[in-house]
Amino acid sequence: MSASSMKEMRRIFAEWPVSIPKSGIVVTAFGESIPFCSYMLSGDLILFERKTPDAQGARRVLMSCDGIHAIKILDAIEMARFTAMGFQGVA
C-alpha cells in the first residue's frame, strides 16, 4: 500500500462520522477478514475490538493502518451518508 493510501485509510478511521456505526469488517494485506465493533487509533496503529473471539481466542487486533486493504460496512446505510467521509457522487 502506498503512503498516500495509508494516510487516507487512517483519515477515514480518524474522522469516522457519528452517523455511521463504527463496526464492519477489515480485510488485511494477508487476505484475512477481521470483524470489528469498535476501534482506537494511536499514530499509524489501530486497535480493533471484536464482539466474539477468533479461533485463537483473541478479542482485540492491533495492526498498522497500511495493512488494511478494504473496509466492509455491514449496516444498510444510504450512500449519501458517506459524503461525511469525503466521498462524492460522480456523473
Query: The domain containing residue 40 runs over which residues?
Result: 3-85
Q: How many domains does the chain have?
A: 1
Does the predicted model carry a pTM greater than 0.75? yes
The reply to whether 91 falls in a domain is no
Which stretches of the chain score pLDDT less than 70?
A: 1
The reply to whether 55 falls in a domain is yes
Q: What pLDDT is stored for residue 89 in this prediction?
A: 81
Q: What pLDDT is stored for residue 86 in this prediction?
A: 87
Q: What pLDDT is stored for residue 10 in this prediction?
A: 92
The reply to whether 90 falls in a domain is no
Q: What pLDDT is stored for residue 1 in this prediction?
A: 64
Q: Which residues pair with 63 in a beta bridge?
A: 46
Cα–Cα distance, 36 to 34 (Å, whole number): 6
Q: Between the CA of residue 90 and those of 5, 15, 26, what are the distances in Å?
A: 20, 22, 25
